Amino acid sequence: MNIINKHVFTKFLRFLSAAFAASVVVCLVAPAVTHAQEAGTIQLKKKTLKKRIDAKGNLVTEEAAVEDLYNETNIGSITQLDPRANRAFFTHTWYIKASTTVNYFNLGSEFQGVIKQIEGAFGGDTLNMKVLTFNSDITMSTAQKVQRAPTHFLPTGNLSLGFYFGKHQVELEFGLAGLVPLKTVDLDTKMTLNETSGGCTGTDCPLAKLGFVDPTSRRGEYDFKMTMNEDVWILTPSIAYDYVFLTRKWGRMSVGGAVGAMILSTSQQIAFKAVRTDPVTPVPPYDALASRVLQGTANSTNVTDIGPIFRLHLTYRPPPWSKFLNTQTEFRIGANYGFVYLNRDVDGTGQAILGDTLVGSFPLSSLGFKTQEVNKFEMLGGFIQAGIVF
């Protein structure tokens, strides 16, 4: 090999050695550089997947439109971000909610009575009965007090339109209760009828002559039955505000209150029947008629009386059912108070029956009943609500 060829070959070997050494250095340094980059940043190239929060606070994965660089040391791993704790607070959206509410409440002492006048009529108040040409003062007293059975549960259907913005939520709700009629009086007891008119004795007294009371004691004993069927319709438009104080992957919680109106209509139908059970003293011309019956009906109605209602509540809303549906459930627990003054119209009739013969019919007003009365309806208690948000 001549001197020129040996010189070229020596340079070529040195070049290969330098290239090999450079390759080794690159292989050793590159992983460290790459590791340092991965520890400090996350590079999302074009057409890579990018995660974001939509308007309803849901985590959405989509293709990135531009190259973004996130500093992992500041925000943490993208996969560990709370999907509802970031941009969800700075978004807004409308929603519709259908729900049902179960209320547990006390209606107040005034409404718990049937009708003040009906309760008093069978509780010993003095009444004046006019039958045929007779006019007599009487009292009627039942062994068991006539009163309305307590009603503590009332289901309500609701439809709401709401607006959610950031940590705040405003909701307009319409509720309707009263789809199920109530039987609030079902009484079967004894009753004593006393004739208290003065200026007469024995069979000269009107009711003794007709055989409704004993001529000597001026008293009659009766089997007494009374029923009352009641319809209560309550429309409750209200506006509510919620503040979202906690947002996590398992859902969000909020606290709030509502103010609204109770629009109340009620109808009560009362029927009673009293059959004399002690011996009837025959008095001509009524001696052939053995049985004595007093019966009647009464109705009390009010229409669209209005009063205020106030609520405080705690709400929990879980995440959507799936990533394809934004439908969510919602649960709410709280307390409320409202009241309405009911202006009742009262009317009815009574009948006196001897045997199978109707000997007299008279309006309840002839007994001294007022045709109008006022009761205070109160709704004080708690409620539980479950709904579906669309």
Interval 216-252: pLDDT, tens? 899 999 999 999 888 888 999 999 999 999 999 898 9
Give the pLDDT band of residue 268 (cuts 50, 70, 90).
confident
State the Cα–Cα distance between residues 361 and 351, nearest whole angstrom.
Answer: 4
Please state whether 355 falls in left (phi above 0), alpha (psi between -120 and 50) or beta: left
| Ranges 46-60, 141-155, 278-292: which has the least confidence | 46-60
What's the pTM value of the predicted model, to 2 decimals?
Answer: 0.67
pLDDT at position 65, please? Answer: 47
According to DSSP, residue 325 is labeled: B
Q: What's the distance, CA 115 to chain centroid?
A: 25
Q: What percent of the chain has pLDDT over 90?
A: 31
Q: When comparing pLDDT for 241 and 153, which is higher? A: 241
pLDDT at position 46, please? Answer: 46
pLDDT at position 369, please? Answer: 75
Instruction: Please say if the pLDDT value at position 201 is more than 60.
Output: yes
32 φ, ψ (degrees, to nearest 5): -65, -40
Q: What is the dihedral of CA 84, 90, 95, 101, to 10 degrees?
A: 60
State the Cα–Cα distance between residues 148 and 146, nearest whole angstrom.
Answer: 7
**What is the residue extent of each domain of the chain?**
3-81, 91-389
Interval 44-81: pLDDT, tens? 444 556 666 555 555 666 665 444 433 433 333 333 33
